[in-house]
Structure 1
Amino acid sequence: MPPSTRDPAGRREQIVIAAAELLCAGDGKPTHRRVAEHAGVPLGSTTYYFSTLDDLTTAALEYLADQVDTGLAETAELVAGGDATPETVARLFHEYLSDRDQVRVEITIYTAALQRPELVALTRRWFDGLVEILCTVTDPATARLLAVFVDGACMHAAIHEQPLELDVLEKLTRTLMGGPGCAAGSDRP
Protein backbone atom coordinates (compact mmCIF):
# COMPACT_ATOMS: atom_id res chain seq x y z
CA MET A 1 0.00 0.00 0.00
CA PRO A 2 1.56 3.36 -1.02
CA PRO A 3 2.07 5.98 1.68
CA SER A 4 -0.75 8.49 1.97
CA THR A 5 -0.18 11.81 0.28
CA ARG A 6 -0.48 14.88 2.42
CA ASP A 7 -2.80 17.58 1.16
CA PRO A 8 -2.30 20.67 3.33
CA ALA A 9 -4.54 22.87 1.17
CA GLY A 10 -7.28 20.23 1.24
CA ARG A 11 -6.99 19.81 5.00
CA ARG A 12 -7.15 23.58 5.52
CA GLU A 13 -10.23 23.84 3.29
CA GLN A 14 -11.87 20.95 5.14
CA ILE A 15 -11.37 22.83 8.41
CA VAL A 16 -12.69 26.11 6.97
CA ILE A 17 -15.81 24.40 5.58
CA ALA A 18 -16.46 22.72 8.92
CA ALA A 19 -16.15 26.06 10.73
CA ALA A 20 -18.49 27.69 8.19
CA GLU A 21 -21.06 24.93 8.68
CA LEU A 22 -20.90 25.35 12.45
CA LEU A 23 -21.29 29.12 12.15
CA CYS A 24 -24.35 28.68 9.94
CA ALA A 25 -25.83 26.14 12.32
CA GLY A 26 -25.94 28.93 14.87
CA ASP A 27 -25.39 26.73 17.90
CA GLY A 28 -22.72 28.78 19.59
CA LYS A 29 -19.28 30.04 18.76
CA PRO A 30 -17.07 27.39 17.18
CA THR A 31 -14.05 26.17 19.10
CA HIS A 32 -10.97 24.48 17.71
CA ARG A 33 -12.19 21.24 19.27
CA ARG A 34 -15.71 21.45 17.78
CA VAL A 35 -14.37 22.36 14.35
CA ALA A 36 -11.85 19.50 14.42
CA GLU A 37 -14.56 17.06 15.42
CA HIS A 38 -16.93 18.34 12.72
CA ALA A 39 -14.17 18.22 10.08
CA GLY A 40 -13.03 14.77 11.17
CA VAL A 41 -9.45 15.93 11.68
CA PRO A 42 -7.13 15.86 14.69
CA LEU A 43 -7.41 18.86 17.01
CA GLY A 44 -3.80 19.78 16.27
CA SER A 45 -4.73 20.37 12.62
CA THR A 46 -7.06 23.24 13.45
CA THR A 47 -4.50 24.97 15.63
CA TYR A 48 -1.74 24.31 13.09
CA TYR A 49 -3.60 26.13 10.31
CA PHE A 50 -5.38 28.69 12.52
CA SER A 51 -3.60 29.75 15.67
CA THR A 52 -6.57 31.81 16.86
CA LEU A 53 -10.31 31.33 16.68
CA ASP A 54 -10.59 34.79 15.13
CA ASP A 55 -8.39 33.65 12.24
CA LEU A 56 -10.47 30.50 11.81
CA THR A 57 -13.77 32.39 12.03
CA THR A 58 -12.59 35.01 9.54
CA ALA A 59 -11.53 32.31 7.08
CA ALA A 60 -14.91 30.60 7.47
CA LEU A 61 -16.78 33.87 6.90
CA GLU A 62 -14.67 34.64 3.84
CA TYR A 63 -15.53 31.18 2.53
CA LEU A 64 -19.22 31.95 3.06
CA ALA A 65 -18.84 35.34 1.35
CA ASP A 66 -17.27 33.56 -1.63
CA GLN A 67 -20.37 31.34 -1.77
CA VAL A 68 -22.49 34.49 -1.80
CA ASP A 69 -20.42 35.84 -4.70
CA THR A 70 -21.04 32.62 -6.61
CA GLY A 71 -24.78 32.94 -5.94
CA LEU A 72 -24.73 36.53 -7.13
CA ALA A 73 -23.02 35.51 -10.36
CA GLU A 74 -25.72 32.90 -10.95
CA THR A 75 -28.42 35.47 -10.19
CA ALA A 76 -26.84 37.93 -12.63
CA GLU A 77 -27.03 35.27 -15.35
CA LEU A 78 -30.69 34.60 -14.57
CA VAL A 79 -31.54 38.30 -14.63
CA ALA A 80 -29.65 38.79 -17.90
CA GLY A 81 -31.48 35.85 -19.45
CA GLY A 82 -34.96 36.89 -18.34
CA ASP A 83 -37.23 39.84 -18.72
CA ALA A 84 -37.12 42.86 -16.47
CA THR A 85 -40.64 42.66 -15.12
CA PRO A 86 -41.29 43.03 -11.40
CA GLU A 87 -42.88 39.58 -11.44
CA THR A 88 -39.70 37.99 -12.78
CA VAL A 89 -37.58 39.85 -10.24
CA ALA A 90 -39.96 38.79 -7.46
CA ARG A 91 -39.73 35.13 -8.56
CA LEU A 92 -35.92 35.35 -8.36
CA PHE A 93 -36.22 36.84 -4.86
CA HIS A 94 -38.63 34.06 -3.87
CA GLU A 95 -36.28 31.35 -5.14
CA TYR A 96 -33.38 32.89 -3.25
CA LEU A 97 -35.37 33.30 -0.04
CA SER A 98 -36.67 29.72 -0.32
CA ASP A 99 -33.14 28.35 -0.07
CA ARG A 100 -32.72 28.04 3.69
CA ASP A 101 -28.99 27.44 3.39
CA GLN A 102 -28.48 30.67 1.45
CA VAL A 103 -30.58 32.59 3.95
CA ARG A 104 -28.54 31.13 6.82
CA VAL A 105 -25.30 32.14 5.14
CA GLU A 106 -26.53 35.72 4.76
CA ILE A 107 -27.70 35.95 8.36
CA THR A 108 -24.44 34.40 9.59
CA ILE A 109 -22.36 36.96 7.72
CA TYR A 110 -24.55 39.85 8.90
CA THR A 111 -24.42 38.71 12.50
CA ALA A 112 -20.66 38.35 12.39
CA ALA A 113 -20.31 41.89 11.05
CA LEU A 114 -22.38 43.20 13.94
CA GLN A 115 -20.02 41.54 16.41
CA ARG A 116 -16.81 42.31 14.48
CA PRO A 117 -17.00 45.60 12.57
CA GLU A 118 -13.87 44.76 10.58
CA LEU A 119 -16.01 42.19 8.74
CA VAL A 120 -18.60 44.70 7.49
CA ALA A 121 -17.03 44.62 4.03
CA LEU A 122 -18.10 40.96 3.73
CA THR A 123 -21.76 41.89 4.22
CA ARG A 124 -21.51 44.75 1.78
CA ARG A 125 -20.30 42.41 -0.95
CA TRP A 126 -23.76 40.84 -1.16
CA PHE A 127 -25.69 44.09 -0.92
CA ASP A 128 -23.49 45.93 -3.44
CA GLY A 129 -23.53 42.94 -5.78
CA LEU A 130 -27.31 42.73 -5.63
CA VAL A 131 -27.64 46.47 -6.32
CA GLU A 132 -25.34 46.08 -9.31
CA ILE A 133 -27.46 43.24 -10.69
CA LEU A 134 -30.71 45.11 -10.09
CA CYS A 135 -29.31 48.19 -11.85
CA THR A 136 -29.53 46.15 -15.06
CA VAL A 137 -33.34 46.09 -14.75
CA THR A 138 -34.07 49.39 -12.99
CA ASP A 139 -32.47 52.67 -11.98
CA PRO A 140 -29.85 52.83 -9.18
CA ALA A 141 -32.17 54.35 -6.56
CA THR A 142 -34.80 51.66 -7.09
CA ALA A 143 -32.11 48.96 -7.14
CA ARG A 144 -30.97 50.11 -3.69
CA LEU A 145 -34.55 50.14 -2.40
CA LEU A 146 -35.08 46.61 -3.70
CA ALA A 147 -31.83 45.42 -2.08
CA VAL A 148 -32.85 46.92 1.26
CA PHE A 149 -36.23 45.21 0.88
CA VAL A 150 -34.54 41.86 0.18
CA ASP A 151 -32.33 42.35 3.25
CA GLY A 152 -35.46 42.60 5.39
CA ALA A 153 -37.15 39.75 3.55
CA CYS A 154 -34.06 37.62 4.21
CA MET A 155 -34.33 38.29 7.94
CA HIS A 156 -38.05 37.48 7.77
CA ALA A 157 -37.30 34.19 5.99
CA ALA A 158 -34.71 33.28 8.62
CA ILE A 159 -37.00 34.01 11.55
CA HIS A 160 -40.10 32.41 10.05
CA GLU A 161 -38.18 29.59 8.33
CA GLN A 162 -39.96 30.35 5.08
CA PRO A 163 -39.98 33.19 2.57
CA LEU A 164 -42.69 35.74 2.13
CA GLU A 165 -45.38 34.45 -0.21
CA LEU A 166 -44.68 34.98 -3.90
CA ASP A 167 -47.73 37.22 -4.36
CA VAL A 168 -46.52 39.49 -1.53
CA LEU A 169 -43.05 39.67 -3.06
CA GLU A 170 -44.58 40.45 -6.45
CA LYS A 171 -46.75 43.22 -5.05
CA LEU A 172 -43.88 44.83 -3.15
CA THR A 173 -41.47 44.49 -6.06
CA ARG A 174 -44.04 45.95 -8.46
CA THR A 175 -44.63 48.85 -6.06
CA LEU A 176 -40.92 49.57 -5.68
CA MET A 177 -40.11 49.22 -9.37
CA GLY A 178 -43.04 51.26 -10.58
CA GLY A 179 -43.83 53.57 -7.71
CA PRO A 180 -43.49 57.33 -7.70
CA GLY A 181 -39.96 58.67 -7.24
CA CYS A 182 -38.39 55.67 -8.96
CA ALA A 183 -37.60 57.34 -12.25
CA ALA A 184 -34.27 56.54 -13.86
CA GLY A 185 -31.43 58.73 -12.70
CA SER A 186 -33.01 59.73 -9.37
CA ASP A 187 -30.70 60.11 -6.40
CA ARG A 188 -30.02 57.36 -3.90
CA PRO A 189 -32.69 56.81 -1.23
Structure 2
Amino acid sequence: MTAWAGLNPAATRADAQAALWDQGAKGEEATARLLRPLEALGWQIRHDRALPRSGANLDHVLVAPSGRLVVVLDTKAWYLGETRLVRGRVHCGPEDRHEQVVKVAGYARRVQEALAVPGVEVLPLLVVHGRPPADGHLDVRVPGFEEPVYVLDPNWLEPTLEASGRKAPADPKRAAALVRRVDQVLPRYVG
Protein backbone atom coordinates (compact mmCIF):
# COMPACT_ATOMS: atom_id res chain seq x y z
CA MET A 1 0.00 0.00 0.00
CA THR A 2 2.87 2.39 0.76
CA ALA A 3 4.89 1.47 -2.35
CA TRP A 4 2.87 3.77 -4.62
CA ALA A 5 3.65 6.73 -2.38
CA GLY A 6 7.37 5.94 -2.31
CA LEU A 7 7.29 5.34 1.44
CA ASN A 8 8.48 1.73 1.22
CA PRO A 9 11.63 1.46 -0.95
CA ALA A 10 11.71 -2.36 -0.78
CA ALA A 11 8.11 -2.59 -1.99
CA THR A 12 8.83 -0.05 -4.72
CA ARG A 13 11.77 -2.17 -5.96
CA ALA A 14 9.63 -5.32 -5.81
CA ASP A 15 6.86 -3.61 -7.79
CA ALA A 16 9.39 -2.46 -10.41
CA GLN A 17 10.85 -5.98 -10.70
CA ALA A 18 7.37 -7.48 -11.06
CA ALA A 19 6.59 -4.99 -13.83
CA LEU A 20 9.80 -5.97 -15.65
CA TRP A 21 8.95 -9.67 -15.39
CA ASP A 22 5.44 -8.98 -16.70
CA GLN A 23 6.88 -6.97 -19.60
CA GLY A 24 9.32 -9.81 -20.35
CA ALA A 25 6.57 -12.43 -20.25
CA LYS A 26 4.50 -10.41 -22.72
CA GLY A 27 7.53 -10.18 -25.03
CA GLU A 28 8.03 -13.96 -24.86
CA GLU A 29 4.34 -14.53 -25.68
CA ALA A 30 4.64 -12.18 -28.67
CA THR A 31 7.71 -14.08 -29.88
CA ALA A 32 5.91 -17.41 -29.48
CA ARG A 33 3.12 -16.08 -31.74
CA LEU A 34 5.71 -15.02 -34.33
CA LEU A 35 7.25 -18.49 -34.30
CA ARG A 36 4.01 -20.46 -34.84
CA PRO A 37 4.02 -20.16 -38.67
CA LEU A 38 7.45 -21.82 -38.75
CA GLU A 39 5.95 -25.05 -37.41
CA ALA A 40 4.11 -25.49 -40.72
CA LEU A 41 7.54 -25.33 -42.40
CA GLY A 42 8.88 -28.19 -40.28
CA TRP A 43 10.51 -26.29 -37.43
CA GLN A 44 10.17 -27.80 -33.95
CA ILE A 45 9.87 -25.19 -31.21
CA ARG A 46 10.32 -25.53 -27.48
CA HIS A 47 9.69 -22.72 -25.00
CA ASP A 48 11.08 -22.18 -21.49
CA ARG A 49 13.82 -24.78 -21.40
CA ALA A 50 16.32 -25.27 -18.57
CA LEU A 51 20.03 -25.11 -19.30
CA PRO A 52 21.80 -28.04 -17.59
CA ARG A 53 23.80 -27.26 -14.43
CA SER A 54 22.52 -23.70 -14.48
CA GLY A 55 19.62 -21.61 -13.24
CA ALA A 56 19.22 -20.20 -16.74
CA ASN A 57 15.92 -20.23 -18.61
CA LEU A 58 16.18 -20.50 -22.39
CA ASP A 59 13.20 -18.55 -23.74
CA HIS A 60 12.90 -20.48 -27.03
CA VAL A 61 14.82 -23.37 -28.56
CA LEU A 62 14.17 -24.19 -32.20
CA VAL A 63 15.20 -27.18 -34.30
CA ALA A 64 15.39 -26.60 -38.05
CA PRO A 65 13.75 -29.06 -40.47
CA SER A 66 17.21 -30.25 -41.55
CA GLY A 67 18.09 -31.51 -38.07
CA ARG A 68 21.40 -29.70 -38.47
CA LEU A 69 20.58 -26.39 -36.77
CA VAL A 70 19.39 -25.45 -33.29
CA VAL A 71 18.53 -21.84 -32.50
CA VAL A 72 18.74 -20.48 -28.98
CA LEU A 73 16.44 -17.46 -29.10
CA ASP A 74 16.28 -14.92 -26.30
CA THR A 75 13.41 -12.43 -26.14
CA LYS A 76 13.91 -8.91 -24.81
CA ALA A 77 11.38 -6.14 -24.20
CA TRP A 78 13.43 -2.95 -24.30
CA TYR A 79 11.78 0.48 -24.24
CA LEU A 80 14.34 3.07 -23.07
CA GLY A 81 15.38 4.12 -26.55
CA GLU A 82 16.64 2.76 -29.83
CA THR A 83 18.60 -0.48 -29.73
CA ARG A 84 21.92 0.27 -31.43
CA LEU A 85 25.64 -0.37 -31.40
CA VAL A 86 27.86 2.07 -29.54
CA ARG A 87 31.56 1.34 -30.06
CA GLY A 88 30.74 -2.29 -30.81
CA ARG A 89 28.48 -2.75 -27.78
CA VAL A 90 24.69 -3.11 -27.79
CA HIS A 91 22.80 -0.29 -26.09
CA CYS A 92 19.13 0.35 -25.51
CA GLY A 93 18.87 4.09 -25.26
CA PRO A 94 21.50 5.16 -22.71
CA GLU A 95 21.89 1.68 -21.16
CA ASP A 96 24.62 -0.78 -22.13
CA ARG A 97 22.90 -4.15 -22.73
CA HIS A 98 25.85 -5.90 -24.34
CA GLU A 99 26.22 -8.45 -21.55
CA GLN A 100 22.79 -9.84 -22.46
CA VAL A 101 24.07 -10.55 -25.98
CA VAL A 102 27.21 -12.17 -24.55
CA LYS A 103 24.98 -14.25 -22.28
CA VAL A 104 22.87 -15.68 -25.13
CA ALA A 105 26.08 -16.55 -27.04
CA GLY A 106 27.27 -18.38 -23.92
CA TYR A 107 23.96 -20.21 -23.68
CA ALA A 108 24.32 -21.32 -27.31
CA ARG A 109 27.83 -22.59 -26.63
CA ARG A 110 26.62 -24.55 -23.59
CA VAL A 111 23.67 -25.98 -25.55
CA GLN A 112 26.12 -27.13 -28.25
CA GLU A 113 28.20 -28.91 -25.60
CA ALA A 114 25.16 -30.42 -23.86
CA LEU A 115 23.65 -31.74 -27.09
CA ALA A 116 26.97 -33.23 -28.23
CA VAL A 117 25.57 -34.08 -31.67
CA PRO A 118 28.14 -33.94 -34.50
CA GLY A 119 27.19 -31.80 -37.48
CA VAL A 120 24.72 -29.62 -35.54
CA GLU A 121 25.24 -25.87 -35.43
CA VAL A 122 23.77 -23.86 -32.56
CA LEU A 123 22.89 -20.28 -33.45
CA PRO A 124 22.24 -17.59 -30.82
CA LEU A 125 19.63 -14.93 -31.64
CA LEU A 126 18.05 -12.08 -29.72
CA VAL A 127 14.70 -10.56 -30.69
CA VAL A 128 13.86 -7.13 -29.26
CA HIS A 129 10.28 -5.97 -28.75
CA GLY A 130 9.58 -2.35 -27.95
CA ARG A 131 12.54 -0.43 -29.36
CA PRO A 132 14.32 -2.84 -31.75
CA PRO A 133 17.23 -1.89 -34.03
CA ALA A 134 16.18 0.81 -36.52
CA ASP A 135 17.61 -1.12 -39.49
CA GLY A 136 15.92 -4.34 -38.39
CA HIS A 137 19.02 -6.09 -37.14
CA LEU A 138 22.43 -5.73 -35.57
CA ASP A 139 25.27 -8.14 -36.28
CA VAL A 140 27.13 -8.20 -32.98
CA ARG A 141 30.58 -9.65 -32.44
CA VAL A 142 31.10 -11.49 -29.18
CA PRO A 143 34.57 -12.54 -27.98
CA GLY A 144 35.13 -16.26 -28.33
CA PHE A 145 32.20 -16.72 -30.71
CA GLU A 146 33.04 -17.13 -34.38
CA GLU A 147 29.79 -15.96 -35.97
CA PRO A 148 27.97 -12.73 -35.08
CA VAL A 149 25.02 -12.81 -32.73
CA TYR A 150 22.02 -11.32 -34.49
CA VAL A 151 19.88 -8.84 -32.56
CA LEU A 152 16.61 -8.60 -34.46
CA ASP A 153 13.47 -6.56 -34.87
CA PRO A 154 10.51 -8.97 -34.50
CA ASN A 155 9.71 -8.41 -38.20
CA TRP A 156 13.13 -9.84 -39.11
CA LEU A 157 12.75 -12.98 -37.01
CA GLU A 158 10.84 -15.24 -39.39
CA PRO A 159 12.86 -14.31 -42.52
CA THR A 160 16.15 -14.76 -40.63
CA LEU A 161 15.11 -18.19 -39.37
CA GLU A 162 13.79 -19.25 -42.78
CA ALA A 163 17.09 -18.25 -44.42
CA SER A 164 19.07 -20.12 -41.76
CA GLY A 165 16.87 -23.19 -42.14
CA ARG A 166 17.36 -23.33 -45.90
CA LYS A 167 21.11 -23.87 -45.58
CA ALA A 168 20.54 -27.65 -45.57
CA PRO A 169 17.70 -29.75 -47.01
CA ALA A 170 14.93 -31.01 -44.76
CA ASP A 171 15.63 -34.36 -43.10
CA PRO A 172 12.59 -35.30 -40.98
CA LYS A 173 14.26 -38.37 -39.45
CA ARG A 174 17.37 -36.44 -38.39
CA ALA A 175 15.23 -33.52 -37.14
CA ALA A 176 13.06 -35.89 -35.04
CA ALA A 177 16.18 -37.43 -33.47
CA LEU A 178 17.55 -33.98 -32.69
CA VAL A 179 14.25 -32.90 -31.11
CA ARG A 180 14.34 -36.00 -28.89
CA ARG A 181 17.89 -35.05 -27.85
CA VAL A 182 16.83 -31.44 -27.13
CA ASP A 183 13.92 -32.69 -25.00
CA GLN A 184 16.26 -35.03 -23.13
CA VAL A 185 19.03 -32.51 -22.48
CA LEU A 186 16.98 -29.32 -22.08
CA PRO A 187 13.97 -30.10 -19.88
CA ARG A 188 11.14 -27.68 -19.18
CA TYR A 189 12.25 -24.84 -16.97
CA VAL A 190 10.68 -24.79 -13.53
CA GLY A 191 11.47 -21.47 -11.89
TM-score when normalising by structure 1: 0.34
- Structure richer in strand, relative to its length: 2
TM-score when normalising by structure 2: 0.33
